[in-house]
Chain A
Amino acid sequence: MPPVEFADPPAVAAALEEAGYLPDIGIATAAFLALRMGRPLFLEGDPGVGKTALAQALATVTAARLVRLQCYEGIEASQALYDWDFPRQILHLRAAADTDDRTALEASLYDRRFLVARPILQALEHAPSVLLIDEIDRADDEFEAFLLEVLADNAVTIPELGTIAAAVPPLVVITSNRTREVHDALKRRCLYHWVPHPDFAREVAIVRRRIPEAAAKLVDDVAGAAARLRAANLVKPPGIAETIDWTQALHVLGARRLDPAMAEATLGAALKYREDIVRVQRDLASLLGG
């Protein structure tokens, strides 16, 4: 299959929109340049603004497989890159223990079939693919350095086996919630984009797209309330993911519009901290724009 080519950022925007992701011009330009230049895309922004969803949409529009690597504290090369399948190696050794040719046996122990491909190796071996490295800020510095090495030459060197290089380099999307500063050496290789909260009109469009069966008035009300919550100086302002959850919850309860009673009953879908809920409950009327 020929690789998908886009003429300009609006073309990318149109394709993303078709895939169910509504980008603004900044995101569309970022995606366009990442595809054109083969550069990793580094997305930062508050939790829940749709960083991960963008990677999924990019996989759809480029007809590529999405490979996701969720980072966590203590993640190591053996979880991100490759690992050897030890039990099978030992079984193989036991089965072939009587053979005379020791060198051949040793060589056969480190065969490709005993290699377990973890996300990064999967993405390199499988073309085309989108490699999503999610929440890099949760991993530690050592992991960043290692990632830098892999991204620099789109290849993995396995001492016992040799170098595995990508035929078509994967499109790499790195996301960060900014719980710590990611090292500049890594960022410098990437296109950097701060993903903002969507404006009112775009948020309404996104929610309508996700939950087409929800009443139009309800979607408008919820998007308006979400915008007011974001301005209300909360511990954790709701992201677009929360707006969608909240609308879904209200829709399931049969709401056609957002009224104080319904809002109070479903506030837990939008706000995840007790302090925030208590604070908003005190003044529900102003939340509803009254």
Chain B
Amino acid sequence: MVDPADLLDPVVTMTGFARALRANGVAADSTRLATAIEALGHVDALDPERVYWTGRLTLCGEPDDLPRYDAVFDAWFGGRLPPPAGGQPSARGGQIVQLRPVARRDAAHAEPDEREPQLASAASDTEVLRHRDLSSLSDAERQEIDDLVALLAPRVGTRRTRRHRPRGRDRIDVSRTVRTMLRDGGELAALARLRPRVKPRRLVLVIDVSGSMSPYADVLLRFAHAAVRVAPRTAEIFTVSTRLTRVTRQLRLRDPQQALAAAGTAIPDWSGGTRLGEGLQAFLDLWGQRGTARRAVVVIASDGWERGDAALLGEQMARLARLAHRVVWVNPHRGKEGFAPVTVGMSAALPHIDDLLAGHTLDALHNLADVIAHA
């Protein structure tokens, strides 16, 4: 039985509210809760609008939190406050981006090789939301992940940064040189030098998890997990089918089984249709243009059976090519006999690709790791 007096105590109310937020994935930790309670002391705590803003300013930490915060606030405080107009970053800030539906094209327009007999399933334009059950890994699959980690470990490419570390014979380190001079009574004995610090280059993997890619998506996700484990700060993983989903956070879990299970739950459109152009646009709008794709090695793993607008895909690939250091396209069919990059998506993307690689065997992934390392 809750004491009615407790309901009026802001500490009790806010603690419960913060717990509800945490349960919904908002990073409302105890530090933030303490700030919120302190902040409430400065405003009129009986005014719902003040409480709404005070809570939002103190308990949220990123745009993704805001829609969740609004929902929990409504539920917790009895929906007394309508969500403020224009106050949300809307879909632009969301983690999962809903893409517009695309009208089914005439069968006559379909590419001839989409009816190849070796297909696992044809690319489809219907949005099928399906979670992939990745909860159990076989021992062989576990071993494979370890192999992939070993494969990538010493060899993610590096880039130069503007920061310097002392050493070598490049730029003069004025500060260190003068300090020595001052110590030596103004005598210039030796020049201290600087050389640029080297940092791992960012690696972005965009994995097509649509129906036609389903035989390969598993192994590619394992590859992605290996990449995140090798470079947790500089690798970013996205999946695309009918939606764009960022799975980097899930794949950061060290245990491969947990990581892949979490990613499987996070991907809402497993084996759905292929709308690569729109997915890529969402990626570039939300992440790529702002920095994730800049100077990065971007790997797109897809068979290129685009059911959306191929012109859009071409446009977005051009945009990507201007931002990225190197664009690598992994096509699982590349290694098969008689392959030609003739699917609509593939031919639209081709002019903007630096490397077109196969990705159907561990050997091919070996090759991919090589390209990433030397990019």
Contact = CB atoms under 8 A, between A and B. Distances in A.
B63 to A, nearest CB: 5
A152 B71 CA distance: 33
A142 B32 CA distance: 23
B7 interface: no
B85 A199 contact: yes
A142 B163 contact: yes
A128 to B, nearest CB: 19
Contacts of B163: 74, 76, 140, 142
B190 to A, nearest CB: 16
Contacts of A83: 175
B182 A93 contact: yes
Contacts of B60: 192, 194
Interface stretch (B37-45, B258-266, B362-370): B37-45
Contact of A97 (B174, B186, B319): B186
B181 A191 contact: no
Point out which of B49, B61, B185, B315 has the most chain A C-beta atoms below 10 A from its C-beta: B61
Given A29-B53, A196-B87, A97 B185 contact: yes
B27 interface: yes
B189 to A, nearest CB: 14
A235 B84 CA distance: 26
Contacts of A109: 182
A39 interface: yes
Interface in B264-304: 281, 284-285, 289-292, 294
B139 interface: no
Contact of B32 (A84, A86, A188): A188
B29 interface: yes
B98 interface: no
A140 B291 CA distance: 12
A111 interface: no
B54 interface: yes
A223 to B, nearest CB: 13
Contacts of B292: 179-180
B43 A74 contact: no
B319 A94 contact: no
Nearest to B162: A74
A194 B93 contact: yes
Contacts, number: 123
Nearest to A33: B39
Nearest to B175: A78
Contacts of A275: 315, 319
Contacts of B294: 179
A194 B66 contact: yes
Contacts of B161: 73-74, 140
Given A8-B44, A196-B86, A25 B290 contact: no
Contacts of B93: 194
A156 B297 CA distance: 39
B282 to A, nearest CB: 10
Interface string A209-231: 00000000000000000000000
Given A30-B57, A184-B61, A37 B38 contact: yes
A137 B93 CA distance: 16
Interface string A245-280: 000000000000000000000000000000100000
B89 interface: yes
A70 B38 CA distance: 31
B13 interface: no
A193 interface: yes
B291 A179 contact: yes
Contacts of B92: 46
B178 A86 contact: yes
A84 B50 contact: no
B253 to A, nearest CB: 17
A8 B186 contact: no
Contacts of B285: 235
B43 A9 contact: yes
A155 B330 CA distance: 52
Contacts of A26: 53, 56-57, 84, 87
B186 A194 contact: no
Contact of B61 (A76, A140, A187): A187
B62 interface: yes
Interface of A: 8-9, 24-26, 29-30, 32-33, 36-37, 39, 44-46, 72-74, 76, 78, 83-84, 86, 89-90, 93-94, 97, 109, 137, 140-142, 177-181, 184, 187-188, 191-194, 196-199, 233, 235-236, 275
24 contacts: A24-B86, A25-B49, A25-B84, A26-B57, A29-B43, A30-B53, A30-B57, A32-B43, A44-B63, A73-B161, A86-B175, A89-B178, A90-B178, A93-B185, A140-B163, A142-B163, A180-B291, A188-B31, A192-B58, A192-B60, A198-B86, A233-B281, A235-B319, A236-B289
